[in-house]
Amino acid sequence: MKITTVTTYQVPPRWCFVKIETDEGVVGWGEPVLEGRAASVAATVDELADLVVGRDPRHIEDLWTLMYRSAFYRGGGIHMSAIAGIDQALWDIKGKALGVPVAELLGGQVRDRIKVYSWIGGDRPAETAAAARAAADRGFTAVKMNGTEEMQYLDSWDKVQLCLDNVGAVRDAVGPDIGIGVDFHGRVHKPMAKVLMKELEPYHLMFIEEPVLSEHLDAMIDVLHGVSTPIALGERLFSRWDVKDVLASGAVDIIQPDPCHAGGITETRKIAMMAEAYDVALALHCPLGPIALATCLQIDAGCYNAVIQEQSLGIHYNTTNDLLDYVVDPSVFAYEDGMVTIPTGPGLGIEVNEEYVAERAVVGHRWRNPVWRHRDGSFAEW
């Protein structure tokens, strides 16, 4: 079997898909995207295609090594996201060729379903209590919300109080047994992160995500060791080399690599195994499309330390298309009792609606991160 073509499709709301075809008619799909940089990633996929066309798609480890190590400049979000989409498609091809799900190729399942959470609110948290209650009424047993708006290195108490009021309202709305994750989104700098984490402890959160940007983690280690709330981060870490010092620090309780950013199934599974050795839980990042979710679930199926899965159904970014629009059979993602079933079909376990993908790719997208500024006019982390 040989790879014949590699084709990318940028589709609404902010996703990019790749289709890899073979001379034996087996087709694989992946999702190579870095939010806000989809065109850059698609261009890199096109460059990497020179390395994989004509080769056997079943030699996944060798092809991954070739795509990563043949570049003099390697790593980073765009390169690793391009590798990720191709890698996902290679696993999809291999599973389909053998008639088994990817999880079977990775050693088999340790679970047949996994807990999921629903995003509530938007970029500027408001009226989140009603959204949380609605999510709980739909069967979700965990929700995640953004914790703050813009926040300076040193900011006023009203910003802290707004965060506390929003989280408190959600806790009151859903009761003590629904998990609440609060995402600082890298918006908070060390001085205010210390304040917020202390003040949020009474709400018994499921986790605090990205209390500071990953590059500032070393300055927070002593503080994080003293926090009772589990700390989660990792969506902006792209390889096992990025993750190793984070795990060794002992300051992180939940690692959140994204299989669409961190080198695909091949690399993300290695990160997951590294995390297990440090007794760190796995909660894969996935505010993306159906191929991304299917990929995550195949990894979750075989990782003992996987605890919960992010998913984008109904997320505030999905304004023109939603998670289930691009699959032939939406029921393959079976949500029930706050969990989703691991797809058991061959490959990634989903059938992509190729005709609809091509139709929406004509529309495409040019999604960009919002640009925020503080009251003094300086740039604010989004």
d(CA 347, CA 185): 33
Distances (CA, A) of 8 to 39, 77, 120, 129, 206: 10, 18, 31, 39, 37
* 216 in active site: no
Exposed e or buried b for every residue in 294-318, given b needs 16+ CB within 10 A? Answer: bbbbbbbbbbebbbbbbbbbebebb
The one-letter amino acid code at 320 reads T
| Interior angle at CA 181, CA 316 and CA 298, nearest 5 | 75
- Categorise residue 121: left if φ over 0, alpha if ψ from -120 to 50, beta otherwise: left
Which of 285, 316, 365, 374 is labelled catalytic?
285
Residue 374 among the catalytic residues: no
Q: Indicate which residue of 185, 225, 316, 374 is catalytic.
A: 185
At residue 236, what are phi and psi to the nearest 5 degrees?
-105, 20
Residues in Cβ contact with 157 at an 8 Å cutoff, skipping those fewer than 6 apart: none
Angle of helix 264-277 versus helix 60-69 axis, rounded to 10: 90
Whether the CB-CB separation of 356 and 21 falls below 8 Å is answered with: no
Eight-state DSSP code of residue 278: T
CA dihedral defined by 233, 186, 290, 57, rounded to 10 degrees? -60
The answer to whether the bond into 13 is cis (omega within 30° of 0) is: yes
Instruction: Count CA atoms closer than 13 A to 91's CA, side-chain side.
Output: 34
Long-range contact pairs involving 43-50 (C-beta distance under 8 Å, separation at least 24):
44/78, 44/79, 44/81, 44/82, 45/6, 45/8, 45/18, 45/82, 45/85, 45/86, 46/6, 46/8, 47/82, 48/6, 48/82, 48/83, 48/86, 49/6, 49/86
What is the set of active-site residues?
185, 285
